[in-house]
Structure 1
Amino acid sequence: MLDVRRLYMLKTVAARGSITAAAHSLALTAGAVSQQLAALRSDVGVDLLRPDGRTVALTEAGRVLLEHADRILAAMEEAESAIAAVKGTVGATATLAALPSTVTRIVAPALTALGSCHPQLAVTCLITDLAQLRELALGTVDVVLGQHYHHLPDATPRGINVSPLLDDPLLVVTAADHGDGRPVMLQELAAHDLAVPPPTTDCGQAILQGCHRAGFTPRPRYVTADIAAQLTLARAGLATALVPHTAIDPTTPGIRTAPIADHPIQRLLFAATRHTENANPTTTAVISALRTAAQEGQTACLPPAQE
């Protein structure tokens, strides 16, 4: 009989591209993973992996087995969710992956509320911009608080449920003594020194496309994905930043914010879980807390000028 843990190791190696990377994500040694995969190869009697440069790739037999492994692992999670639904109680642990820009106004309030309502639930939170939905599909996290900029095609993996939380517009951020807080035409920013994320990021691409729609190509003075750095440059009067509303702490001193009037740029914030027929009470509780925090954060006004 095939060992489910070995099937999961095969899935992880296929996703990570190497035994070393898979071992790191599983908190195991590369030797331990290799040993278990060798045992799996012995169980099925055929090679499942082949060298591919510095990585490994699935053989034809490996691809066939992985297709079945995906269904087996999904069925096991379905069974666990069904039992959890019958019990009807929130569990003891959950892992949340969230964007750094959502921590202040969504994640922190949501975790505080969860601690009050479900004190037995310990939530491990991974603050990361990278490969969140892949980690969700692999089972390393239970809930993702992610983003989707409207200019991008939907790339949600199969078997993932997405629950929209809110549309989060980018705001024009300057020093408090600059501007008057009125809505800004995007074309006006053509003459500004800008602090923006790299064009390789989703936000950077969204800003670039928005500026193109407004008839100009931005020439950033400062390029950084660090929102705290963008706000610092804006507060110092060195640059104008374009920052998601939710990423700005309303108590931040010394900045002025204004909406974009003509070519709004916005992202959808969403909560995502693996699909199961039966709702899991634990992930449901986490998503409910995120939704409440997102709605309350959306109504928190940013004053036009903050001294």
Structure 2
Amino acid sequence: MLDVRRLHMLKTVAARGSIAAAAQSLALSAGAVSQQLSALRRDAGVDLLRPDGRTVALTEAGRVLLEHAERILAAVQEAESALAAVKGTVGATVTLAALPSTVDRRPLTVARIVAPALTALGSHHPQLTVTCHVTDQAQLRELTLGTVDMVLGQWYHHLPDATPRGIEVYPLLDDPLIVVTAADRADERPVALRDLAAHSLAVPPPTTDCGQAILHACHQAGFTPTTRYVTADIAAQLTLARAGLATALVPRTAIDPATPGIRTAPIEDRPILRLPFAATRHTETANPTTTAVIAALRTAARQGRAMHLPAD
């Protein structure tokens, strides 16, 4: 009979491209992974992997087995969720990965969403331990591999949806980018995106989701932005705006509109929406632990948003 743990190793090796990378991901030695894959090969009675330069690739049999392995592993996940639902109690552990967006050298996502959510969870579910990894590798693929239980990420509505199959996404809030200038350079009236064609902008690199979304929105508005300053550091963008050197486009929840020396204004015609989300592996039966964590993240995100809305 095929071993579920070995099927998971095969899936991880296929995704990572090498036994060494898979071993690092699984917190095992390369020798241990090789031994388990050799045992899986004996169980299957056919080669599942072949050398491919410095990496390995699936054989035809390996591809067939991987297709079935993904369904088997999803069924195991579904069974675990169904049992948890029957028990009706929040579990003991969750591993969460979050992107390290920062402002004023503080982890923005951690300060505004994760920390308040964990505080609330600690009060309502003291038996639950949440391990949080703040990492650039907070990718949805990590969910499919089982490296983490949940990802706190972000998506921009100008970009195509790239959610992998089998992943459930839970939107936390809409967080539009706002126009930030020096306090003496503009008023707080809404700005048409096309008006920014005459501005020197401080924006994230085009290799980032935010940078891509800004470029795409500007192109849709009929112009190519003048990006004189390129930085993903929100604090640096605000410094440049405060000095009158550039106009910044910054998520609304990232700053306090009352910050001295700057003025903020919404984009009225072509809003650029940052959409923070929590994501988990999809199951037909809701897992009480997942439900509790998502509810805490959603509450924290919305409370954080309310704190950073301009006063009427």
**TM surpasses 0.5:** yes
Aligned ranges 1:4-153 → 2 under 5 Å: 4-101=4-101, 102-130=109-137, 132-153=139-160
Check whether the contact 2:97–2:138 (CA below 8 A) recurs between aligned residues: no
Q: Which is further off, 243-252 or 180-189?
A: 243-252
Task: Report deviation, 1:177.
Answer: 4.1
Give the partner amino acid of 2:162. A
Give the partner amino acid of 1:168. D
Task: Report deviation, 1:171.
Answer: 0.9
Check whether the contact 1:104–1:249 (CA below 8 A) recurs between aligned residues: no
Task: Report deviation, 1:173.
Answer: 1.8
Residue 162 of structure 1 pairs with residue 176 of structure 2: no
Task: Report deviation, 1:286.
Answer: 0.5
Determine helix, strand or coil for the equivalent of 2:275: strand
Give the partner amino acid of 1:124. T
Task: Report deviation, 1:148.
Answer: 2.2
Unaligned runs of 5+ in 1: none
TM-score, length basis structure 2 = 0.90
Check whether the contact 1:106–1:290 (CA below 8 A) recurs between aligned residues: yes
Check whether the contact 1:13–1:19 (CA below 8 A) recurs between aligned residues: yes
Distance change in 2, residues 1:174/1:54 (3 Å): farther
Equivalences, count: 304
Partner Cα distance (1:90, 1:73) in 2: 22
1:104-140 Cα shifts (integer Å, max 9, x gaps)? 3222221221122112211111223445211111111
Check whether the contact 1:257–1:303 (CA below 8 A) recurs between aligned residues: no
Distance change in 2, residues 1:111/1:174 (3 Å): farther
Determine helix, strand or coil for the equivalent of 1:114: helix
1:177-199 Cα shifts (integer Å, max 9, x gaps)? 44222222223322322111111
Check whether the contact 1:195–1:222 (CA below 8 A) recurs between aligned residues: yes
Task: Report deviation, 1:265.
Answer: 0.8
Identity of aligned residues (%): 83
Tell me which of 287, 295, 299 is aligned to 2:294: 287
TM-score, length basis structure 1 = 0.91
Check whether the contact 1:257–1:302 (CA below 8 A) recurs between aligned residues: no
1:248-273 Cα shifts (integer Å, max 9, x gaps)? 35675543321112221113222221
Partner Cα distance (1:156, 1:45) in 2: 35
Partner Cα distance (2:161, 2:75) in 1: 26
Check whether the contact 1:98–1:126 (CA below 8 A) recurs between aligned residues: yes
Distance change in 2, residues 1:100/1:250 (3 Å): farther
Tell me which of 221, 231, 236 is aligned to 2:238: 231
- Output the aligned Cα RMSD: 2.1
Distance change in 2, residues 1:263/1:144 (3 Å): same
Determine helix, strand or coil for the equivalent of 2:160: coil
Unaligned runs of 5+ in 2: 102-108
Tell me which of 272, 276, 281 is aligned to 1:274: 281
Check whether the contact 1:96–1:125 (CA below 8 A) recurs between aligned residues: yes
Partner Cα distance (1:126, 1:293) in 2: 18
Aligned ranges 1:198-213 → 2 under 5 Å: 198-213=205-220
Task: Report deviation, 1:289.
Answer: 0.5
Determine helix, strand or coil for the equivalent of 1:233: helix
Distance change in 2, residues 1:147/1:62 (3 Å): same
Determine helix, strand or coil for the equivalent of 1:195: strand
Task: Report deviation, 1:247.
Answer: 2.7
1:37-83 Cα shifts (integer Å, max 9, x gaps)? 12211221211111223221111111111112112211221121111
Determine helix, strand or coil for the equivalent of 2:223: coil
Task: Report deviation, 1:244.
Answer: 1.4
Determine helix, strand or coil for the equivalent of 2:226: coil
Tell me which of 256, 260, 270 is aligned to 1:263: 270
